[in-house]
Chains A and B, each alone.
Chain A
Amino acid sequence: MSPPGTSRSWGDRAPWVRGLRLPTQPLVRHLLLALCGAGLLYAITSSLSPYNDFEVGEIALYVIALAGLSLLTGSNGQISLGHGAFMAVGAYSAALLMTHTHLNFLIELVAAIGAAGLLGLVIGIPATRLKGPYLAGLTLLLALALPPIADKWSSTFGGDQGLTTTTPSAPGTINPEEWLAWIQIIGALITLVLLANLLRSRFGRSFRAVRDDEIAASLAGIHVARTKVIAFVISAACAGLAGAFLGLSTGVVNTGEFPLTLSIQLLAAMVLGGTGTLMGMWWGAILLVYLPQWSTSLSGDFSLGSGASAYLATIIFGVVLIVVMIAAPTGIQGGLRWAWRRLWSLRPGTGDGMSKISRPA
């Protein structure tokens, strides 16, 4: 599930394809892509109803959490079954500040990111010594251990009622759903640009080196433990921001929003989108937002009992995890990349031998 080779040769392709080449500077290219994405999303949100805008915002916030998870698992080879817990920490931190203080909105977001990152540090340090299944068990336990804490000290965390959140009021005549969606979209685009740059940098290369072979990486002068902790903290911080945004979307933050299922659904969405990719996380996020609705209507069609729709969604997420892992470990984005390259290599005279070697198996 390694990302495709970074040095793609465009020289032997038709002239009009070469004309389409993106700038080679990663920062410029990522900013350009983000601007195109922003334009596309602006067109989408301004043509949709407020409720659909709300859903686009939810997709954006899940993209943030999934991108962090994808970086952790895909690029650094660590797994987390407890990313819902980091989202909970971000959500509660932001909500606590909103309830008790009148700080700037951005400061509240930064605090949410920082708190989740701090927990990521606490979990990430023992994680540096752990291989896959150990870390999986530790994070699974984290996902189960955190929500009861909020119930235990219910006077601070609001118990079942939870804490209410406040979104900064929208400027001008923009309706509040569209405004919230835009806050979340901008957050997602900034996160994606930062992570994309990080993955193309020295840090990103050392993440992948540690994933592929820890001993070789340390012989090459990479501080393996520090690299793994940094990856974990970044990933947790992304989940914290996503959690703060989720709190804004739902209006309240309570423990019911962060069950173990959330963590597992995040994992399923990440795997389906394409482990290690960033763009693929949009597919995963769309699944997270729309699958519950589809399964509700589906269970209505089969006239299953009330409550069955939640279980149906759970079953579908589980089947996705199993089938993708056995049949197509590169996920949707991997499949798209493969199809794209097949398309080019099928044209006479345009195939380059590299694409056959580097395409995902």
Chain B
Amino acid sequence: MSLFVNVTLNGIANGMIFAALALALVLVFRATRIVNFAQGAMGMMTTFIASSLLGRGVGYWWAFLAVLVIGFVLGALVERVLIRPLQGKSELNPVIVTIGLLVVLEGIAGTIYGNSSRGFPAAYSQSGLTLGHTKIAFSHFDVFILVAVLVLMTATLVLFRATSLGLRMRASAFAGEISRLLGVRVGLLLTLGWALAGVAGSLSGLLVAPTSSFGPYYMDLVLVYAFTAAVIGGLESPVGALIGGLITGLSISYVGGYLGSGLQPLGALVLLMVALMARPEGIFARPPARRV
């Protein structure tokens, strides 16, 4: 019984992290109809920068903030330099380019920082909380993860639902040509979508690093789990990313707890295949309309 509780709590904490990265994928997909397979690697890169800053004696929260800003800039830069030239070409081209960016970033991180996994500090204690007399597998840091991701989700929802900037972003993603005619600076807003995704990706990188073997490849699996989460949620909806993240996090955690951690990616593969077979448009997406 206690195994079940702990596995569930662990699944929720992981699910929140997957939700953050899934949100990044959703932001990019909403803006440009592209899945950014380098999103995890971008988070990895910014977390390595954070690690360097911490090594030079910068305070944790300053480094945290700096890295979110760097993530913003990196996201915007990638969209402008690599993705913009591909506009109007086959949908496979951006997939291939983001995969290229993924391995370039991993190669750069590996060359600079080496392969050996180094530790990355957590903002708060990682030992479990005590409820009554029993110690549970949910630490102060897990509480921080929960709060940070919920703040991120709320901010995104407020941006899209309650501000005119969010409305313009939705309009330029939904009908770019018409928005441009109405005076919306579509190009700039697509870049903004990528930049915000960069922030969410950086946050997920910072949250994963303390609990994983922090090295050039530590975001690979997180990325595919987040992709699974985003697909379950429909690749379009921030709320879907959150729900999908929790479903994925819990499933992975149960597979790991009862069958062994080596089978976790296979569990995610089965989950993704079931989700794609049963409801390819996701739980929260509008009914699909196909343009002939």
A to B contact number (C-beta, < 8 Å): 150
Q: Which residues of B contact A142 (CB under 8 A)?
A: 269
Instruction: Give the Cβ gap from A46 to chain B, nearest Cβ, in Å.
Output: 37
A321 touching B263 by the CB < 8 A rule?
no
Q: Which residues of A contact B119 (CB under 8 A)?
A: none
User: Is B210 interfacial (CB-CB < 8 Å)?
Assistant: no
B273 touching A138 by the CB < 8 A rule?
yes
| Partner among A140, A148, A314 whose Cβ is within 8 Å of the Cβ of B107 | A314
Task: Determine the distance from Cα of A271 to Cα of B97 in the docked complex, in whole angstroms.
Answer: 11
Task: Determine the distance from Cα of A101 to Cα of B102 in the docked complex, in whole angstroms.
Answer: 42
Task: Determine the distance from Cα of A130 to Cα of B35 in the docked complex, in whole angstroms.
Answer: 13
B108 touching A315 by the CB < 8 A rule?
yes
B269 touching A261 by the CB < 8 A rule?
no
User: Is B159 interfacial (CB-CB < 8 Å)?
Assistant: no
Q: Which residues of B contact A307 (CB under 8 A)?
A: 110, 114-115
A321 touching B224 by the CB < 8 A rule?
no
| Partner among B92, B102, B260, B276 whose Cβ is within 8 Å of the Cβ of A138 | B276
Given A134-B231, A134-B280, A140-B37: A325 and B272 within 8 A (CB)? no
User: Is B10 interfacial (CB-CB < 8 Å)?
Assistant: no
Contact flags (1/0) for A265-294 with B, using CB distance below 8 Å? 001100100000000000000000000000
Closest chain B residue to A327, Cβ basis:
B85
Task: Determine the distance from Cα of A3 to Cα of B92 in the docked complex, in whole angstroms.
Answer: 16
B92 touching A79 by the CB < 8 A rule?
yes
Tally of chain B residues near chain A (CB < 8 A): 52
A320 touching B231 by the CB < 8 A rule?
no
Q: Which residues of B contact A151 (CB under 8 A)?
A: 262
User: Is B149 interfacial (CB-CB < 8 Å)?
Assistant: no
Closest chain B residue to A322, Cβ basis:
B100
| Chain A, range 83-133, C-beta contacts under 8 Å to B | 126, 129-133
A315 touching B220 by the CB < 8 A rule?
no
Q: Which of A77, A267, A305, A322 has the most CB of B within 10 A?
A: A322
Given A141-B272, A315-B108, A325-B86: A148 and B263 within 8 A (CB)? yes
Task: Determine the distance from Cα of A126 to Cα of B231 in the docked complex, in whole angstroms.
Answer: 14
User: Is A145 interfacial (CB-CB < 8 Å)?
Assistant: yes
A152 touching B104 by the CB < 8 A rule?
no
User: Is B228 interfacial (CB-CB < 8 Å)?
Assistant: yes
User: Is B289 interfacial (CB-CB < 8 Å)?
Assistant: no
Given A73-B92, A305-B114, A307-B114: A325 and B265 within 8 A (CB)? no
Residues on B facing A (Cβ under 8 Å) = 29, 34-35, 37, 82, 85-86, 89-93, 95-97, 99-108, 110-111, 114-115, 216-217, 220-221, 224, 227-228, 231, 260, 262-266, 268-269, 272-273, 276-277, 280, 290, 292
